[in-house]
A and B are shown apart, each in its own frame.
Chain A
Amino acid sequence: MSQVSGVAMPVAEVPTPPVRGTSLLRRSLRLWRTRIGVALVGVIVLLAIVGPYVAPYGPSTPVGAPNSDPGGKAVLGTDYLGQDVLSRVLYGGRSILVMAVIATALGLVAGTVIGLVAAYSRNALDDILMRAMDVIMALPQIMLALVAVAIVGPHAWVIVTAIALTTAPRIARVARGAAQPVVERDFIACSEAMGVPRWRILSGELLPNTLGPLMVEASLRLTYSIGVIAALAFLGLSPNPNGANWGTMIQQNEIVLAVQPWGAAAPIIAIALLTMGTGLIGDGIARTAAGIDRARGEE
C-alpha cells in the first residue's frame, strides 16, 4: 500500500512516547461507537458464559412439539426437534467464542512476532517471511479451513489451528508495516549501540510503537474469526454436529424459517450483535489512534 499512497509522510523528529495499549483503549471509550461496541460484546459474552447456568432446559431436552410458536413453556418456541430455542441459544455461544478468541490470540502472537522480526531484520529474512505470508493469504480463510477440515475432520483443534494460521499473515503485514518506520528511528540504533539484546528491542521498543494498528487489526480479525467459525458450523462442520452451537442451530432451523423463524433468527441475532460489537470497538480504536497521530502531526 505504501507504494500506492506514494507521498512521503513528514516524519516528526521529536521522539514521541508510544501510547500504551491500555490508555488507547481508555481514550477510545470516549467515543460512543466504542461504548456501544463494548456493551454489545459484553452482553453477548455474558450470555455465552452465564447462559448454560440459567437456561430453563438442557440443550437437547425435548420440551414440546417441533416448531411450536413462542409462548408457554418455551419463550422463543421450539426448534425442528422440539428442543427449547432459548436454552439452545444460551448454551450455543460458548464454543464459538472460546474457539474464536483462542484462534485470534494465537494468530495475533504468531503474526506479531513474524511481522516485527521481518521489519527488524532488514535483510533477506524480511522477504522470505513476507512472501511466505503471501502464500497463505492466497487462500481465503474459510477455504484453508475447509481444506484442513476435509483432510483431518472437523475437530476443534483443526478449526482453531486453521483460523490461527490464516490470521497470522494478515496480522504480520500490519505489524511489519507499523514497525518499519520505527526501525529506522535513532532510538533503535541507540539501543543497538548500547548492546540491548534483540528480543528486548523487539518487545520493549518495537512492540509498544505498533500497538495501535495491531489492536485495530486484532479486533477486525476477531470479527472474522467469529464469522468463519460460525460459518463452518453453519456448513455442518463443527466439533459436535448435533450440539448446541449458534451456527449449527441456524443450519438446522433454516428449512423451517417460514414456520418458526426463531430457531434460526435468535442465533443469527446473537452472532450479528457480537460481530457488530467487535467491529464498532475496532473502529473506535482506529479513530482514536488516528486522532492521536493527527494531533502529533500538528504539534
Chain B
Amino acid sequence: MNRFRLGGMWGFILRRMLLGIVVLILVSILVFLATQALPGDPARAILGRSATPASLAALRRQLHLDQPVLEQYLTWVTGLLHGNLGTSLAAQEPVSTLLSPKLVNSAVLVALAAVLSIPLSIAIGAWAALKREKAFDTASSNLLLVLAALPEFVVALVLVILFATTVFHVLPAISTVPPGSRPWNNWVALVLPTITLVIAVAPYVARIMRASMIEVLESDYVEMARLKGLPERTVLIRHALPNALGPVFQVIALNLAYLAGGIIVVEFVFNYSGIGGAIQEAVVNHDLPVVQALAMLIAAVYVVLNLLADVATILVTPRLRTRL
C-alpha cells in the first residue's frame, strides 16, 4: 500500500514535470515568435533610422535573421540549453556573463523577502483567524486590503519619502551594488527594497492563510481534538496549522513567481543592480537577446515554483494522496 502510494506520487510529480516542460517549450516559441511575427525589422529597431544597409545586414547575420525561422529557433533553443544565452547587443558581451552577478543580487533580494514575508504572513493570517471579527482581525485585514491594492513602485516610493528623503532621513534611498561587491556588504541598503517586496507578497498569503485557517478551525476533526480534551496549543499547532497550510503553498508559489516580475520595478526605484534594472535597460536599448533570456528565466522560475507548490501541497495534505 505504501509503495503504491509512493508510486502514485512519483507518477504525479513526473506528469507535472512533463507539463512544466511543455509550458516552457511553448513559452520559448511565444517569446521567439514575438521577435519574428511582430511588425518591424528588429535590426532596424535596434540600429535606428540612420542605419546603413551594410550595418543592418551585419546585425541581421549576428542575430541569425538571415536564416529560416525554424532554424533560427533551433539555434536559439540549443544555445539556451547549453547555457549560451546569446550576446548582448548593447554591451557586446555574452548575456550570461552580463547577467550572472545581477542574478545573484536579485536572488538575494527575493530570498530575503521570501524568508521574512512567508512566516510573517502565515502568522498574521493564523492570528487573524483565531481572533476572527475582533480588533486585530479587522485592523489587519483592512490594512492588508489597502496594501495589496498599491502597485509595488508606489509602495517603494512612499517608503523612500517616509524613511529616506523627506520625513525621516534614516535609510538610504539608493541601493546600488557596485561591481565586485555583494549585496550583504551594505545591508542597510537592502532594508527598503526588502520591505517593499514583503509588502507586495504578505497581503495575499495572509489573506488565504486566514481563510484556510478559519475553514480548518470549523472542521469536525478540530472539534474532535478539542472534545478529546487536548490542550488548545496542541490542537492549533498539531491539528489545525498543518492542514491549513495546504492551500497556502499555492499562493506562496504564485506570489514568489510574481516577485520575479515585481522585482523589475522595485530594483529600478532603488537603482539596485539586479535583473530588474537589466531588463529595463535592455528594453530601452532594444537589446533583444537580453530580453529573451530574462523572459525565459522568469518563466522557468514560475514553472519550477508551481511544481514545487503542487508537490508541497500533496505532501502536507495526506487526503489528496489517495486520489492521485
Contacts and interface: CB of A to CB of B under 8 A. Distances in A.
Interface of A: 1, 3-6, 33, 131-132, 134-144, 146-153, 223, 226-228, 230-231, 234-237, 250, 254, 257-258, 261, 264-265, 268, 271-272, 275-276, 278-280, 283
B280 A236 contact: yes
B247 interface: yes
Given A6-B320, A142-B261, A149 B145 contact: no
Contacts of B268: 234-235
Contacts, number: 161
Contacts of A139: 27, 261, 295, 298-299, 302
Provide the main secondary structure of the chain B interface: helix
12 contacts: A33-B145, A138-B299, A144-B295, A150-B283, A150-B287, A151-B45, A152-B45, A235-B283, A237-B284, A258-B166, A275-B154, A280-B149
A197 B34 CA distance: 37
A138 B40 contact: no
B246 A146 contact: no
B250 interface: yes
A134 B306 CA distance: 11
Nearest to B279: A146
Nearest to A271: B154
Given A140-B262, A254-B157, 15 more contacts: A4-B250, A134-B23, A135-B26, A136-B30, A138-B23, A139-B295, A140-B260, A140-B302, A142-B265, A146-B264, A147-B291, A230-B154, A254-B160, A257-B166, A279-B149
Contacts of B152: 227, 231
B298 A4 contact: no
A151 B317 contact: no
Given A142-B265, A152-B40, A1 B149 contact: no
A143 B261 contact: yes
Contacts of B149: 223, 275-276, 278-280
A235 B152 CA distance: 13
A151 B35 contact: yes
Contacts of B264: 142-143, 146, 235
A226 B295 contact: no
Contacts of B319: 6
Nearest to B141: A283
A140 B261 contact: yes
B77 interface: no
Contacts of A278: 149
A236 B264 CA distance: 13
Nearest to B283: A150
Given A151-B288, A235-B280, A230 B151 contact: yes
A149 B283 contact: yes
A276 B150 CA distance: 6
Interface string B243-259: 00011001000000110
A230 B317 CA distance: 40
A3 B291 CA distance: 35
A142 B276 CA distance: 11
Given A235-B280, A236-B284, A283-B145, A147 B23 contact: no
Contacts of A254: 157, 160, 269
Nearest to B251: A1
Contacts of B283: 146, 149-150, 235, 237
Interface string B12-47: 000000000011101100110011001110100100
B65 interface: no
Interface in B99-151: 142, 145-146, 148-151
A218 to B, nearest CB: 14
Contact of A271 (B31, B151, B173): B151
B282 interface: yes
- Among B161, B282, B283, chain A packs the most CB atoms within 10 A around the CB of B283
Nearest to B319: A6
B40 A258 contact: no
Given A135-B27, A151-B38, A276-B150, A143 B320 contact: no
A139 B26 CA distance: 12
A153 B291 CA distance: 13
A210 B265 CA distance: 34
Nearest to B298: A143
Nearest to B292: A147
B30 A135 contact: yes
B261 A141 contact: yes
A147 B34 contact: yes
Given A138-B303, A231-B265, A235-B265, A4 B246 contact: yes
A138 B288 contact: no
Contact of A153 (B35, B45, B157): B45
B151 A257 contact: no
Nearest to A265: B161
A139 B261 CA distance: 8
B157 A264 contact: yes
A277 to B, nearest CB: 8
A152 B44 CA distance: 11
